[in-house]
Amino acid sequence: MLKRVRLAMGVLLLATIAFMITGSLSPANAAETTIIGTLSTPGGEPVVGVVITAIDADGVTTSGTSDDEGAFVVPLPAGGTYTVEIDLTTLPEGITLNNEADASRSLLVLGGEKRVLIGLSEGGESGIGEVESGTSERVIQLFLDGILYGLVIALGAVGMNLVFGTTGLTNFSQGELLSLGAFTALAINTAGVNIIIAAPIAIVFAAFVYGWGQNRILWRPLRRRKTGLIAAMIVSIGLAIFLRYTLVLFFGGAPSSYKQFAGQPGIEIGPFNTTPKALILGLLAVIALAATVTWLQRSRIGKATRAVSDNPALASATGIDVERVISVVWIIGAGLAAFAGIYLGLTQNTVWNMGQRILLVLFAAVILGGLGTIYGAIVGAMVVGIFVQLTTLVIPTEMKTVGALFLMILILMVRPQGLLGRKERVG
Amino acid sequence: MPAKTNHMAAGHAAAVEALRDVPQVPGVPKPDPVMIVDHISRQFGGLKAVDVTHVEIQRGAITALIGPNGAGKTTLFNLLTGFDNPDTGTWTFNDNSVAGTPPHRLARMGMVRTFQLTKALSRMSVIDNMLLGAHGQSGERVLNALLPFTWNGQERANRVRAMELLERFNLHEKVDDFAGSLSGGQRKLLEMARALMVGPEIVMLDEPMAGVNPALTQSLLGHIKNIREEGTTVLFVEHDMDMVHDISDWVIVMAQGQIIAEGPPDAVMKNEQVIEAYLGSRHGSSLTDDGASLTPDAQGVNS
Amino acid sequence: MDFVQIFSLTLTQAIGVTSLIYLFAAIGLNVQFGYTGLLNFGQVAFVAAGAYAIGVIVLTFDLSLWLAIIVGMVVSTLLALILGIPTLRLRADYLAIVTIAASELLRLLVRSIAFKDVFGGAQGLNGKLGQEFHDLNPLPADVALPILTWSRQDLWVVIVGWSLALLFTLLVWGLVRSPWGRVIKGIREDEDAVLSLGKNVFVYKMQALVIGGGIAAFGGILWAIAKQSVQPDTFQPDFTFFVYTIVLLGGAARVFGPIAGTIIFWFLLAGFGELLSSMINNGYIEFLTPTDVGSIRFMLMGMGLMLLMIFRPQGIFGDRRELALDAR
């Protein structure tokens, strides 16, 4: 039985690698035909982080995000007619389109660069202290956005907390588990597999290769050598840098999107604006997290994990196979993180430093909840997610990470063991 | 550092003499207390680890703090030395109120402690360990550090004193070696010698016999007695009954966070309450065969 | 392939302006992390403090460069206090996370549109920074060194920079061999032991943080003067990670460790980059493009850091026995 499982895994692995190679070799940046432009406010300020998507006649999409100068590039596979859409949810606070119709328009591109003009206006100052009218709707919107954001963070952070609890490692490459998951799915997707199928494949691949594999090849040998925890932390920093630039090498520096669902129109549920994909992903995230919690509570290995997390020496003395628990923890953590990465890839885009960008938020969640506690990651993640989204009422969206960082620093000063931690753990 | 003036005790005989007529009652006042503790308590979760109404430590004597596992000895020890904060309690050291005083300031006032898991700084040389103990070094102030002429003289004097102590503890040949290259027993001696560099009034030893091989035990006992001869007070926590019996002038017994008996070692060993508290352990001999103590709980809840 | 040119470009970068800035940060980090054991992962914030002090005082407020330098030192000290007071009592990995968070927080604030009038927002501050410094340049107009390809302006910066760096190294040397240095090294290994001997550990840690941060801030000052541009996105956590690599490579807690580490680090990084670029441009390597060189360099750097920590954490000149990294 075990042999057949191993065989199946091996075949799946080979197939996935084959897809990935095909996917990563397809030209990511070789487009000569592009849509370009610059987004700026009437005052000449660059507008950053806005996603512009081009959809061709077959529904194939490519997109680009406006950079720090407001400039964006949307690569196109060929000349033709495209629907160009602006993702309104990525417009910063206070910035709106001059003309509502600009949100989606048709464009004929005959090859080379096609420049588009998008007029923007400022609905109000995007500074600290100003709040738009319709606050209660905004609050509900942000609160629910916060829940969704919190779910993503939770998926990314659970693994980090379990790894810390069972091995003591502060993993600075946790963000890259998200990126790798997202890009693995991208590679499979680019090779022609619909993202709905590519995603689970990527998640399983990530769980075993990036999760179990990482532990087996790197962390277990280091534990055997009795490498200190600070040294291990620095090793994880080196690993993060290595992985990040590997992604740049293979996938380029520009953001990419999955071929499906990129330009999905939004829907309204009462006061809440969102997209179907966000809701479905949110639901899946809840299921995944609930499954993880149930597993921790009920299953033998789950209970063993809690024991090891609490007191590795004692757990080992009672006969628990600590190494097996650690393997399982890495598998689950990497799988959930991969899901989080794909989630971000579907709702925003995939870019080489997406892991780095979310790492500090993950730390904030984990520290807030209680580093090393079992459920702290989920609790902390929800609090951080909701808090961060709500702070965009008064802070510009581009700075919303500030909220998470501030929260983390605050909790470390006031209650360093986090919400769920015990007093003795920290100083 | 307060100068040793008329508080100086005169050694073993004087200590015994002073304590001879003291009633053997928990919390009894002492003729010349260096430390007086009132209503000290510490709770961990639901467990009251320490709950002591009153205790006094006699100056110039060697006092042992004993009790079975979980009695609260180490917790009390940590509280008195500033490494833990009590829930309630006040205590004085040389008539100065010191509740809440941080450990480094207590050390400057003359209270120096050692650690059960010896903290000889392994990555520094023996002589550096010793020099670290010297107090009042102007070279330790960052502004003076770059001007060697402000501290060269002190450094030389400290070195001389350090070498004297190292010779006394028979470590002088290891002076430039890394402390990590010393044996476990030698590191214990180093920690004791280093504590003496501070020039303390009271030396608080946390399970000094822990992990010490029998050959070294006598040597350590001798050193502790010498400390008393110099007029320094000694308070130590121990499991090893033989050692306790051998060198203490006074014994304080704790059980379940409270003091249940006080008195000279002979009397205490025969005390029925004490025997009962230790019921299940082999009375009169060490709790483990090789004299090593049981691994303490990191949270400090046990003993 | 022109090996002489490759060597020339490599050496110029290895001891040039950019390298110098990392050197200052490394000397400072060596005091904080190498000698005191503080896991300060926000070192880049100190560099930024120095750089932005120059930018803000000179450009935004149109005042003298010398005043700006003094302000830079004051800001750096304040930063150390603000950073240290709440965090120095935290355990190592918490300190690492919090200091990164703080440095990112500051970067985002400085980058924000809200404070754009003072800090220049995402574009930062660009202009005639450091004019008074460049006016003091005594070098002749046509100065040119063999092998090294600096401009007259950059050469002046390099000369002053290296002189200052050596001065700071001397300072650090003096500090660590003093009784103050002894206390610091004791703290690195075991704070409780040092506390039990009567030293106020917190004050010493704070001093180390201030001193290390101040030296790093000088790097930032030099940056602003040399590049005449201060932008928030150059001061990201990766900078700090590179500085750690440099300190570890040279040998933590070695007086010349930062100098050795910086030169070797940049020599390898730049050298490999130049070599690879040249090989690609000459057609020896067909499956890579010039833009890939950047990524490969940093991939190797990340891998290098991992291997360094696993196999030789004491770096080139460090002493394995003195290593504080094994401790939790």
The pLDDT of residue A21:
62
The arithmetic mean of pLDDT across residues A198-210, rounded, is: 93
Q: Give, as one character, the DSSP assignment of residue A97.
A: E
Tokens found for residue A69: 């100068």
- Cβ of C190 and B155 within 8 Å? no
Predicted local distance difference test score (pLDDT) of residue A141: 84
Distant-in-sequence, close-in-space partners of B108: CB < 8 Å, separation ≥ 6: B1, B135, C198
pLDDT at position A44 is: 63
CB B15 within 8 A of CB B9: yes
CA atoms of C196 and C321, how far apart (whole Å): 24
Cβ distance of C101 and A405 shorter than 8 Å? yes
Query: Are C190 and B180 inside 8 Å of each other by CB?
Result: no
Min Cα separation A252/chain C (Å): 9
Residue B184: how many other CB atoms lie within 10 Å: 13
CA–CA dist B52, B200 (Å, integer): 25
Consecutive H or E run containing A383: helix A376-391
Choose, out of C170, C171, C182, C210, the residue to mutate when testing the contact with B (most B CBs < 10 Å): C182
pLDDT of residue C323: 67
Tokens linked to A160 = 């980090």
pLDDT digits (tens, 9 = 90+) for C51-79: 999 999 988 888 888 899 999 999 999 99
pLDDT recorded at residue B302:
37
Q: C93 and A427: CB-CB below 8 Å?
A: no
| Element containing residue C169 per DSSP (H, E) | helix C152-176
Regarding predicted confidence, which is higher, A116 or A126? A116
Of B113, B131, B146, which has the smallest distance from its Cβ to C182's Cβ? B131
Contacts of B107 in chain C (CB under 8 A): 195-198
| Residue A99, amino acid | N
Touching subunits of B (3+ CB pairs, under 8 Å) are C
Given a cut of 70, is residue A201 above it in pLDDT?
yes
At residue C56, the pLDDT reads 92
Q: Which helix (H) or strand (E) holds C175?
A: helix C152-176
Alpha-carbon separation of residue B261 from B26, B37, B251, B282, C261 (angstroms): 5, 16, 8, 19, 62
For residue A198 the two structure tokens come to 């590519």
| Average pLDDT value for residue range A76-84 | 81
Q: Is the pLDDT of residue C279 over 70?
A: yes
Greater confidence (C128 vs B51) lies with B51
Please give the pLDDT value at position A124: 44
For residue C91, what pLDDT is reported? 80
Written as six digits, the tokens of B25 are 């009652």
Closest residue by Cα to residue A28 from A187, A201, A261: A187
Interface residue C328 vs chain B (CB under 8 A): no
Helix axes C179-189, C152-176, angle to 10 degrees: 80
Exposure of C275 by Cβ count < 10 A (0-12 exposed, 13-18 middle, 19+ buried)?
A: middle
Give the pLDDT mean for A102-116: 77
Task: Identify from C197, C205, C210, C322 which residue to disrupt to test chain B contact, counting B C-beta atoms within 10 A and taking the largest count.
Answer: C197
The 10s digit of each residue's pLDDT in C293-315 is: 889 999 999 999 999 999 999 89
Residue whose pair of structure tokens reads 């501070």 in the numeric block: B198
CA gap A326, A165 in Å, rounded: 10
Q: Is the separation of the CB atoms in C85 and C27 below 8 Å?
A: no
Alpha-helical runs (H) found in C55-137: 65-87, 92-111, 116-119, 131-135
Residues C103-110: what's their mean pLDDT?
91
Mean pLDDT of all residues belonging to chain A: 82
**pLDDT confidence band for B288 (50 / 70 / 90):** very low
- With an 8 Å Cβ cutoff, are B121 and C193 in contact? yes
Chain A positions in Cβ-Cβ contact with residue C237 (cut-off 8 Å): 356
Q: Report the pLDDT value the prediction gives residue B23, as an integer from 0 to 100.
A: 86
Interface residue A67 vs chain C (CB under 8 A): no
Q: At what angle do helices A229-251 and A354-369 cross, to 10 degrees?
A: 150
pLDDT of residue A123: 57
Report which of C60, C69, C74 is spatially closest to residue C125, judged by C-alpha positions: C60
Instruction: Tell me the pLDDT band of B7, cut-offs 50, 70 and 90.
Output: very low
Band of the pLDDT at A29, cuts 50, 70, 90? very low
Q: Provide the pLDDT for residue C45.
A: 96
Least confidently predicted of A120-124, A213-217, A320-324: A120-124
Whether B135 has its CB under 8 Å from any CB of chain C: the answer is yes
Place of tokens 């299940």: B280
Residue C284: pLDDT above 90?
no
Give the closest of C174, C185, C200 to B146, CB-based. C174
Query: Per-residue pLDDT tens for A121-136?
Result: 765 433 333 344 467 7
* Sequence letter at residue A95: I
pLDDT per residue as tens digits for the range A328-352 = 999 999 999 999 999 998 888 888 9
CA max distance for chain C: 67
Where are the strands (E) in chain C, listed by range? 125-126, 229-230
**Read out DSSP for chain B?**
-----TT----HHHHHHHHTTS---TT---SSEEEEEEEEEEEETTEEEEEEEEEEEETTSEEEEE-STTSSHHHHHHHHTTSS--SEEEEEETTEE-TT--HHHHHHHTEEE--SS----TTSBHHHHHHHH-SS-GGGSHHHHT-GGGTHHHHHHHHHHHHHHHHHTT-GGGTTSBGGGS-HHHHHHHHHHHHHHT--SEEEEESTTTT--HHHHHHHHHHHHHHHHTT-EEEEE-S-HHHHHHH-SEEEEEETTEEEEEE-HHHHHH-HHHHHHTBTB-TTS-SSTTSPPPPPPTTS---
Which residues of chain C have a CB within 8 Å of the CB of A412?
A: 86-87, 90, 94, 98
State the average pLDDT for chain C.
Answer: 90
For residue B145, give the nearest of C174, C188, C198 by CB distance: C174
How close does chain C come to A68, measured CA to CA in Å? 7
CB contact under 8 A, A402 and C328: no
Q: Test C304 with A126 for CB contact under 8 angstroms.
A: no
Cα–Cα dist A136/A125, whole Å: 19
Kindly indicate the confidence band of residue C282, based on its pLDDT and cuts at 50, 70 and 90. Answer: confident
Alpha-carbon span A20 to B289, nearest angstrom: 63
Identify the top-confidence range among A73-82, A268-277, B1-10, B80-89.
B80-89
Q: Is C323 on the interface with B (CB under 8 A)?
A: yes
> Do residues A82 and A76 make contact, with C-beta atoms less than 8 angstroms apart?
yes
The strand pair at B111-113 and B202-206 is best described as: parallel
Per-residue pLDDT at A263: 63
Query: In whole angstroms, what is the distance from residue C11 CA to residue C24 CA?
Result: 18
Residue, of A119 and B65, whose pLDDT is higher: B65
- Give the residue from chain A lying closest to C33, CA to CA: A230
- Bridge partners of B97, per DSSP, are B92
What is d(CA A393, CA A404) in angstroms, rounded to the nearest whole number?
Answer: 14
* pLDDT for B280: 52
User: Cα–Cα distance between A113 and A79 in angstroms, integer?
Assistant: 10
User: pLDDT for C219-251, tens place per residue?
Assistant: 999 999 999 999 998 999 999 999 999 999 999
Mutation to test the C interface, candidates A126, A230, A248, A356, most C Cβ within 10 Å: A230
Q: Nearest-CA distance from C110 to chain A in Å?
A: 10
Q: Which residues of B touch C190 (CB under 8 A)?
A: 119, 121
Question: B122 and C189 in contact by Cβ < 8 A?
Answer: yes
Q: What is the pLDDT of residue A205?
A: 94
Name the least confident of A373-377, B111-115, C182-186.
A373-377
Span C80-93, mean pLDDT?
A: 86
- C-alpha of A74 from chain center: 22
Burial of residue C305 (CB within 10 Å: 0-12, 13-18, 19+) is buried
pLDDT for the residue numbered B48: 87
Q: Which helix (H) or strand (E) holds C270?
A: helix C257-281
Q: How many CB atoms lie within 10 A of CB C176?
A: 21
User: Per the CB < 8 Å rule, is A231 touching C325?
Assistant: yes
Asked if C326 has any chain B CB less than 8 Å from its own CB, the reply is: no
Give per-residue pLDDT as tens, A10-27: 666 666 666 666 555 544
Q: Which residues of A touch C245 (CB under 8 A)?
A: 238
Q: Provide the number of CB pairs (under 8 Å) joining chain B to chain C.
A: 106
Q: Is there a contact between C45 and C106 (Cβ–Cβ < 8 Å)? A: yes
Q: Mean of the pLDDT values across residues B131-141?
A: 89
Q: Cβ of A13: how many Cβ atoms within 10 Å? A: 15
How many CA atoms within 13 Å lie on the side-chain side of A3?
0
Give A357-409 pLDDT, tens digit per residue. 899 999 999 999 988 777 888 999 999 999 998 888 887 777 788 888 988 88
Residue A1 has pLDDT above 50, yes or no: no
State whether residue C199 sits within 8 Å of chain B by CB. Answer: yes
Could you tell me the two tokens for A35?
A: 């849509």
